[in-house]
């Protein structure tokens, strides 16, 4: 049975218990909250939930930790199976599909316009599908150019590269027997700033595939040149690429990387960045036709068939409030999703947090289509082949396009 077809029957079934529960109004409402957070983030959430329960004695919350890699499908299966779930911390790329399947609740009737207006516009756009808001943004993520200030200064550079040409020139100058300029990854998420810089695109909102355009192919050719013309890491492949990139950057072997705010806490534990002032953060350089990095993140959504939508909204509103966002940022070094938090005096002196404001101002949304989360597998596989020279930019881009036509059912 298809999920969307089965959901009306599930909704009818879920209404039955609530009709017979009218005499239990004195009992606390029990909410089930699935989270995809790391260990430290889950600990923070538990502390905040305790505070929430203290101020909402009629609500009790059970927090269940789920692996991010499998939670997306697990949630869909759980809803079909009638499991009691009220709130989910969802990757933003899941939201269009969930909204299309009608398994998350639009918040327009629960959330006041005034409250929604306090969120960063790009964060709010990432949870908006076909004109309706489906979640409250909890964490924002945006890739930026991170650089070792001391290494750049040693090579004669006082500022990070501003253009793609400067990026290549500086990375070449920073490369030598014991060091290289820039780590270039096979992960297609981190390729989007290059694609957009050269005027390319992935899939438009009206489902037009742009990945094989001449502009997109120019971006892939440029990324390949970084590898072949002495600007990037000397390794033959990409096995364990993220750990390798983080290690090399942390010990001074890589002068620049493209990474997100989630990496800051770990980088500050390394030799090179024991002094936080040595870690530079700047937008990924602009190209001949544009600039921007993909806005990513995680948001709190409500099960469309929750028996407790009002209480669920009270929970997610509390967890994304100005005070909780500020404390979350200070504790976990995450980027706040609310505009007012950036003006909080406690965060004003947070150099690294403030450094991400410019990359955020240039951020772009990923395709808001139900299949969005499914596009990266074929993109990454063929990007790997292009960077290693097994496919030309034209061949790789056309193979990605062919795979996406199948996923989007355009053939």
Reported as a pLDDT band with limits 50, 70 and 90, residue 25 is low
Q: Compute the distance between CA of residue 375 and CA of residue 35 in angstroms, rounded to an integer.
A: 24
pLDDT (tens digit per residue) in 337-369: 999 898 899 888 787 788 898 998 899 988 889
Q: What is the mean pLDDT of the chain?
A: 91
Query: Over 70: is that where the pLDDT of 21 sits?
Result: no
Quote the pLDDT of residue 366: 85
pLDDT (tens digit per residue) in 147-178: 999 999 999 999 999 999 999 999 999 999 99
Quote the pLDDT of residue 20: 34
Reported as a pLDDT band with limits 50, 70 and 90, residue 188 is very high
pLDDT greater at residue 79 or residue 157: 157
Is CATH 2.30.30.30 what the domain over 3-141+296-361 is classified as, yes or no?
Answer: no
Is the separation of the CB atoms in 79 and 103 below 8 Å?
yes
Query: Over 80: is that where the pLDDT of 30 sits?
Result: yes
> What burial letters (b/e) apply to 381-406, b meaning 16+ CB within 10 Å?
bbbbbbbeeebebeebbbbbbebbee
CA atoms within 13 A on the CB side of 254: 27
pLDDT (tens digit per residue) in 307-331: 999 999 999 999 999 999 999 999 8
What's the average model confidence in pLDDT over 387-398?
A: 98
Tell which CATH architecture fits domain 144-293+375-407: 3-Layer(aba) Sandwich (3.40)
pLDDT (tens digit per residue) in 193-215: 999 999 999 999 889 999 999 99
Q: Compute the distance between CA of residue 257 and CA of residue 251 in angstroms, rounded to an integer.
A: 13
Q: Compute the distance between CA of residue 120 and CA of residue 140 in angstroms, rounded to an integer.
A: 9
In the chain, where the domains are located: 3-141+296-361, 144-293+375-407
pTM metric for this prediction: 0.84
Quote the pLDDT of residue 289: 96
Closest CA to 197 of 223, 170, 231, 225: 223
- The reply to whether 144-293+375-407 shares the fold of 3-141+296-361 is yes
φ, ψ (nearest 5 deg) of residue 128: -105, 125
Quote the pLDDT of residue 342: 87
Q: Compute the distance between CA of residue 118 and CA of residue 125 in angstroms, rounded to an integer.
A: 13
Quote the pLDDT of residue 367: 85
Three-state SS for 170-184 is: HHHHCCECCEEEECC
């Amino acid at each position: 049975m298809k999920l969307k077809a089965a959901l009306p029957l599930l909704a009818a079934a879920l209404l039955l218990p609530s009709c017979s529960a009218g005499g239990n109004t004195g009992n606390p409402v029990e909410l089930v909250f699935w989270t995809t957070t790391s260990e430290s983030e889950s600990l923070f959430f538990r502390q905040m939930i305790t505070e929430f329960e203290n101020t909402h004695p009629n609500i009790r919350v059970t927090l269940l930790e789920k692996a991010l890699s499998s939670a997306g499908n697990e949630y869909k299966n759980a809803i079909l199976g009638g499991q009691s779930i009220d709130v989910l911390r969802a990757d933003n790329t899941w939201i269009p599909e969930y909204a299309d399947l009608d398994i998350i609740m639009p918040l327009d009737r629960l959330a006041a316009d005034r409250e929604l207006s306090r969120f960063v516009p790009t964060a709010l756009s990432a949870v908006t599908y076909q004109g309706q808001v489906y979640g409250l943004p909890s964490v924002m993520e945006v890739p930026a150019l991170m650089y070792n200030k001391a290494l750049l200064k040693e090579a004669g550079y006082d500022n990070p590269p501003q253009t793609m040409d400067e990026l290549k020139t500086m990375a070449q100058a920073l490369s030598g027997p014991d060091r290289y300029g820039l780590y270039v990854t096979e992960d297609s998420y981190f390729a989007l700033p290059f694609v957009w810089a050269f005027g390319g695109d992935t899939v438009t909102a009206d489902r037009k595939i742009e990945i094989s355009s001449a502009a997109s192919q120019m971006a892939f050719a440029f990324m390949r040149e970084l590898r072949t013309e002495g600007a990037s890491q000397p390794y033959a492949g990409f096995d364990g690429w993220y750990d390798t990139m983080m290690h090399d950057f942390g010990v001074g072997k890589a002068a620049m990387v493209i990474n997100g705010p989630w990496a800051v806490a770990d980088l500050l534990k390394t030799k090179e960045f024991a002094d936080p002032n040595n870690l530079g953060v700047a937008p990924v350089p602009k190209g001949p036709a544009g600039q921007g990095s993909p806005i990513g993140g995680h948001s709190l959504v409500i099960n469309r068939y929750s028996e407790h939508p009002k209480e669920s909204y009270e929970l997610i509103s509390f967890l994304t409030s100005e005070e909780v966002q500020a404390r979350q940022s200070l504790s976990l070094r995450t980027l706040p999703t609310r505009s007012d938090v950036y003006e909080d005096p406690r965060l004003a002196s947070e150099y690294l947090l403030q450094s991400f404001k410019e990359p955020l101002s240039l951020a772009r949304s990923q395709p808001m289509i139900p299949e969005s989360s499914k596009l990266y597998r074929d993109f990454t596989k063929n990007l790997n082949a292009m960077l290693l020279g097994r496919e030309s930019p034209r061949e790789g881009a056309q193979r990605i396009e062919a795979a996406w036509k199948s996923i989007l059912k355009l053939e």
